[in-house]
Amino acid sequence: MSETLENLSSETRKFPPPEALAAEANVTADAYAQADADRLAFWAVQAERLSWAKKWDQVLDWTNPPFAKWFLGGELNIAYNCVDRHVEAGIGDRVAIHWEGEPGDTRTITYAELLKLVSQAANTLTELGVGAGDRVAIYLPMIPEAAVAMLACARIGATHSVVFGGFSVDALATRIQDADAKLVITADGGYRRGKPSALKPTVDEAVAQCPSIEHVLVVRRTGQDVVWGEKDLWWHETVEQASPEHTAQPFDSEHPLFILYTSGTTGKPKGILHTTGGYLTQSSYTHWSVFDLKPETDVYWCTADIGWVTGHSYIVYGPLSNGATQVMYEGTPDTPDRGRFWQLVDKYKVSILYTAPTLIRTMMKWGDDIPAGYDLSSLRVLGSVGEPINPEAWMWYRENIGHNRTPIVDTWWQTETGSMMISPLPGVTATKPGSAMTPLPGVTADVVDDQARSVPDGGGGFLVLREPWPSMLRTIWGDDKRFIDTYWSRFGAGAGQGDDWIYFAGDGAKRDEDGALWLLGRVDDVMLISGHNISTTEVESALVSHPSVAESAVVGATDATTGQAIVAFVIPRGNVDTSGDKGEQLNVDLRNHVAKVLGPIAKPRQIMLVAELPKTRSGKIMRRLLKDVAENRSLGDVTTLQDSAVMDLIAEGMKSAKSED
């Protein structure tokens, strides 16, 4: 992308916060003014949410950019903040986790019980020779032990690297090697789609290539057969037998907390390093403010996997530091049937739900009648994260899940940012469907042109962050140069332009006429059509605004006349008949629909109706693979792809389809 991005769509719908919620909201509009007046003082106030063993001397050290240090000289223990202090405050009987296994088995874990488990695990790790600064790989299903393992590492100052339980031997082995981990914590397996799915064999194969691993700690979840090696230890024979007494030691505010690899939408994942005090400050504050969390009464549920940053910040560290009660679910949304999510909301009276656009669009495809069969009246705030949410998906979420009562917070952030950066506040912001609205208090986001100049309202460009923030990544593990090259050398001092260090997130965005921010997808995906930079997101959202469409992915394919031409891949809604002529007619209708909504410049050259789209294991669309297909190339890196059969099907369909023009 060279200059700025076209702003083609316009949105007039607007939803003010519900009055009752606004009246009792944790945060009011004052927060923005306070943060604007003195950003560092604002973050210092938020850091007071935590219990510090030693208070910091300085809020931010930015003398060696882009390497930030937050709350310098401060000391704290993360596990103490997430567990012990709640028990000391007398709420040990509060439920921390309502866990539900996919087969329907359940566990209820109070904060007092969590303290016991985390202390036992901390004692076991110490006995196994794991100490402060050592790395531990965690490869677990969505069971409470995943949170316990992370907190136990944090408690003793070990740095965890959680690897999503669906990853292959290779992905696990390279992550273990990159972090030089000493220990792996895993399970025999977990339940997925109605049956046990093994994890241990993957670990066995990976560990065979990883001499740094001294022990493998294995949780028994499914009871399936495992091959037992000399490094293996059962969790129930070690952790569950260990002493429940453990005193947490404080660590420096900049002590490394975790390494996490990005989800790999654009290519080879990067090992993002997060540290202690700043990370917990911002994840705790945003969880409390953006969801308007009332820990005494809310039941919170984040449907992400613990293997992604959303699981780190908004299942483990944010909610537990706030003393929240949450639901944790092991399995898939369609087991035993497509109502499972709504059955869980109904059963646990979930009041705050945080999920991803991919799931919302899937639910749209499955049909409105499914959520309509459950009591969802407990819900009061809905959240979205992971991809741009198409306005029609947003409206579907609002109407069918929120019953037109609940605010929706569309939260933009990244593995690299550690916590939410751009989002409405549910008691303050009048939201627009599809917009993440405004930077949170204390966050300085901007949309700029290729010279780092702010674009005017109504303009599109590159999303950047102009000032450091507490939960920012500190580096790419073991590769400071890649850290600078990847995030800091496109604009600002790192690019030889001026003195300010400007973080470039990789995403395109626009600022509409009211100043609200709209995320427009990756700038690498931006299409150049007859000299216009057009975002994939706007065309996809136009397609999803057609009543027959559930989901779509759009790419720019090389074209002799226009430079690039738009090729769209579309999943029809479940009830739409696409057989024979009806499919052809839909194709014509959709191309015309886009031209009508966005203008003729955005009319797709070609539309392919497909059953599935290629996605990462965290459910994000991988457009670069579709571009390979659209341009008849062999596929690029597919290691983070969820299901490779999907690409074969699409490639076959593409070959047999004739171009529409």
> What residues make contact with Mg ion under the rule CB under 5 A?
262
Say which entry of Mg ion, ligand ATP, none residue 572 contacts (CB below 5 to 8 A, set by partner kind).
none
CB under 5 to 8 A by kind: which of ligand ATP, Mg ion, none does 359 bind?
A: none
Q: Which of 522, 602, 595, 614 is nearest to 565 (CA)?
A: 602
Q: Which does 410 bind (CB under 5 to 8 A by kind): ligand ATP, Mg ion, none?
A: ligand ATP
User: What, of Mg ion, ligand ATP, none, does residue 386 touch, CB below 5 to 8 Å by kind?
Assistant: ligand ATP
With vertex at residue 578, the alpha carbon angle to CA 574 and CA 581, rounded to the nearest 5 degrees, is: 165
- Which residue, 261 or 342, is less far from ligand ATP as judged by CB? 261
Q: Among ligand ATP, Mg ion, none, what does residue 343 contact (CB within 5–8 Å per kind)?
A: none
| Smallest gap from residue 60 Cβ to Mg ion (A) | 24
Bridge partners for 501 per DSSP: 492
Q: Least separation, in Å, of the C-beta of 491 and Mg ion?
A: 17
Nearer to ligand ATP among residue 321 and residue 415 (C-beta): 415
Query: Which of Mg ion, ligand ATP, none has residue 263 at its interface (CB below 5 to 8 Å by kind)?
Result: ligand ATP
CB of 30 to ligand ATP, least distance (A): 25
* Residue 313 beta carbon to ligand ATP: minimum distance, rounded to whole angstroms: 11
Residue 355, binding choice from Mg ion, ligand ATP, none, Cβ under 5 to 8 Å by partner class: none
Alpha helices in 318-459 (DSSP H): 318-321, 340-348, 357-366, 369-372, 391-396
In terms of CB distance, is 123 or 265 closer to ligand ATP? 265
Task: Yes or no: say if 312 and 287 are a contact pair by the CB < 8 Å rule.
Answer: no
Q: Please provide the DSSP assignment of 283-317 as one string.
A: HHHHHHHHTT--TTT-EEEE-S-TTSHHHIIIIII
Pick from 637, 660, 645: which is nearest to 610 by CA? 645
Residue 98 interface partner, choices ligand ATP, Mg ion, none, CB cut-off 5-8 Å depending on type:
none
Indicate the helix (H) or strand (E) that contains 581: helix 581-598
Sequence letter at residue 130: V
The residue ranges that bind ligand ATP (CB under 6 A) are 262-266, 269, 308-309, 385-388, 410-412, 414-415, 436, 505-507, 519, 522, 618, 620
Q: How far is the CB of 463 from Mg ion (least distance, A)?
A: 12
Q: How many CB atoms lie within 10 A of CB 346?
A: 17
Q: Which residue is nearest to Mg ion (CB)?
A: 262
Residue 235 or residue 477: which is nearer to ligand ATP going by CB? 477
Shortest separation between residue 471's beta carbon and ligand ATP, angstroms: 13
CB of 393 to ligand ATP, least distance (A): 12
Give the nearer residue to ligand ATP in terms of CB position, either 420 or 570: 420
Q: How far is CA 542 from the centre of its chain?
A: 24
Cα torsion through 616, 358, 517, 317, rounded to 10: -70
DSSP state of 82: I
How many Cβ atoms are within 10 Å of 364's Cβ, its own excluded? 23
Distance of CA 390 to the CA centre of its chain: 17
119: phi then psi, degrees, rounded to nearest 5 = -65, -45
Identify any residues that bridge with 61 across adjacent strands, giving them in sequence order: 69
Residue number, 548 or 618, with CB nearest to Mg ion: 618
For the CB of residue 263, give the shortest distance to Mg ion in the complex, in Å: 7
Kindly tell me which of 79 and 273 has the beta carbon lying closer to ligand ATP.
Answer: 273
- Partner whose footprint covers residue 264, from ligand ATP, Mg ion, none (CB < 5 to 8 Å by kind): ligand ATP
**Residue 217 or 622 having the CB closest to ligand ATP:** 622
CB of 79 to Mg ion, least distance (A): 28
254: partner contacted, choices Mg ion, ligand ATP, none (Cβ within 5-8 A by kind): none
CB of 603 to ligand ATP, least distance (A): 24
Give 262 or 606: the residue with its C-beta nearer to Mg ion: 262
In the complex, the smallest distance separating the C-beta of residue 415 from ligand ATP, rounded to whole angstroms, is: 3
**Among Mg ion, ligand ATP, none, partner that 269 touches (CB below 5 to 8 angstroms by kind):** ligand ATP
**Which does residue 508 bind out of ligand ATP, Mg ion, none, counting CB within 5 to 8 angstroms by kind?**
none
- At how many degrees (to 10) do helices 644-656 and 623-630 cross? 30
CA angle, residues 69, 73, 75, in degrees to nearest 5: 105
- Cβ proximity to Mg ion: between 246 and 522 the closer is 522
Q: Which is nearer to Mg ion, 113 or 416 (CB)?
A: 416
- Beta partners for 98? 108, 327
Strands, E, within 111-249: which ranges?
Answer: 135-139, 159-162, 183-187, 189-192, 195-198, 215-219, 232-234
| Closest to Mg ion by CB, 260 or 359 | 260
DSSP assignments along 28-53, one per residue: -THHHHHHHH-HHHHHHHHHTTS--S
Phi, psi (degrees; rounded to nearest 5) at 530: 45, 45
How near is the Cβ of 187 to ligand ATP at its closest, in Å?
Answer: 24
Choose between 263 and 475: whose C-beta lies nearer to ligand ATP.
263
d(CA 34, CA 54): 25
DSSP 401-438: ISTTTS-EEE-B--TTT-S--B---TTT--B-TT--BS
Q: Closest approach of Cβ 522 to Mg ion, in Å?
A: 8
The angle formed by the CA atoms of residues 593, 546 and 10, to the nearest 5 degrees, is 70
Out of ligand ATP, Mg ion, none, what residue 548 binds, judged by CB under 5 to 8 A for its kind, is none
Tokens 């389809």 correspond to 657
